[in-house]
Structure 1
């Protein structure tokens, strides 16, 4: 394909025309224009095409599919995932493994349709905060926006399973970054992170709860101040 005609004068057109409506075959321009793209994918003279570079061990038919595989989060090579994330404007967390990254990439485009909504913000927080020690679940992210005053105000409440200071700080930083990015520009919010605290209760109150919480007994398994 070193020109638009063969040595015998026959006009060379791209085989990609076979996949387009007949109207595109009325003039030779489209067939000649597509030759450049066909050369990139199938190769040209001694230059290998993308399908050979990406899947050289496969047959020609399967190699074409390998190109599409790189655009699917479920089948793309692990080293290709950050590049694929860049296509959809996604920032990957450093502590995500490949399976977590693939799951988020598969969900992010449909999730963009819910951007600016309570449901969309809640789901983004659940996804981004989940790897933080697996302490944040769907039920732990609560967004409240039914305040009469002030206007355009909402609250986000996150509940963690433990009171680790490093995890608390990381959760706050990640949550604020996500909320600032996803919320409508005219709104403002308050973020509250709830952590477990110690309660002093009677045995009667403990037995009344279902399921009963772990009982803390002063002097036996609980101390106030230094021991």
Structure 2
């Protein structure tokens, strides 16, 4: 027989003059054959004789985990199964969430809609218009970025996470020009200063990348401004690496 999709939601089964069980029958036929007679394939009615037929009812109910906690006597009561299923459908999604709560609290596996909440937990300001996987890694490593904020190592690590460039000086190079600059009465010419040029607390950032590796310069500057000490100045050079094309590498942009 055909079972309606809304059988368990329909109110028809709850009418007083009808049973809660589904009127769906099954039948088992028990047959036998004599040993001294060959059985054809398939067996025919002459060699295979009917011994008994047994009819039975099939009870259809939603799969319920809560029935496993009841004695066998109550598991056979259809009404109890339906009643428990109401509570199970209400609470089981929360129970399943608690079973994998560690995945919801990890930015690398959490649902994307939960990322702003996880970023707020660690005080991280999400960067707009970047890939979801890169956003997840930045949130996951936020505490490590905070630990080295204001240092050369921290800026290099942050740029590595954002740009996905290798964490080496060939691709991400940060050069300190002067630590203090020219200070009257303390400067030794030729040792810690030169005549002309140079800025105190100035550094240079060079990013070398392939032409197909697109990098948003505006976001790079935003990262540098956020990570550097407020009194420092910097220059940014984004260099295209055309080594495979046998063409010289030229600065893509450079600004002070």
Give the alignment's TM-score, normalised by structure 2: 0.45
Which stretches in structure 2 are left out of the alignment for 5+ residues? Answer: 1-88, 182-198, 248-256
Question: 1:78 Cα shift?
Answer: 2.1
For structure 1, the 5+ residue unaligned runs are: 1-51, 131-135, 199-212, 217-227
- Residue equivalent to 1:36: none
Query: CA distance change for structure 1 residues 91 and 74 in 2, over 3 Å: closer, same or farther?
Result: closer
Question: Which residue in the other structure is 1:156 paired with?
Answer: 205
Alpha-carbon distance, 1:114 to partner: 0.6
C-alpha RMSD of matched pairs (Å): 3.1
Higher strand proportion (structure 1 or 2) = 2
TM-score (normalised: structure 1)? 0.50
> Shift in Å at residue 156 of structure 1?
0.5
**Structure-2 residue corresponding to 1:127:** 161
Tell me how far 1:187 sits from its aligned partner.
Answer: 0.8
1:76 is displaced (CA, Å) by 2.1
- Deviation of the 1:108 alpha carbon: 1.0
1:1-227 correspondence runs (5 A): 56-59=92-95, 64=98, 69-87=103-121, 88-97=123-132, 99-130=133-164, 136-139=165-168, 140-147=171-178, 149=181, 150-162=199-211, 167=214, 171-196=216-241
The structure whose Rg is larger is: 2
The verdict on how the C-alpha distance between 1:67 and 1:193 changes in structure 2, with shifts beyond 3 A counting, is same
Contact 2:177-2:201 within 8 A present in 1 as well: no
User: Alignment length, in residue pairs?
Assistant: 138
How far off is 1:190 after superposition?
0.9
Q: As a proportion of its length, which structure holds more helix?
A: 1
Post-superposition offset of 1:155: 0.6
1:54-80 per-residue CA deviation (whole Å, 9 max, x = no partner) reads: x74253xx6545555433224422221
Superposed displacement of residue 94, structure 1: 2.1
Residues 68 and 197 of structure 1: is their aligned pair in 2 closer, same or farther, counting only changes over 3 Å?
Answer: closer
The 3-state SS of whatever aligns with 1:89 is coil
Q: Report if aligned partners of 1:85, 1:92 keep a CA contact under 8 Å in 2.
A: no
1:145 aligned counterpart, secondary structure: strand
Q: Provide the secondary structure at the position in 2 that maps to 1:138.
A: coil
User: Residues 93, 129 of structure 1: CA spacing in aligned structure 2 closer, same or farther, 3 A cutoff?
Assistant: farther
Q: CA deviation at 1:146?
A: 4.5
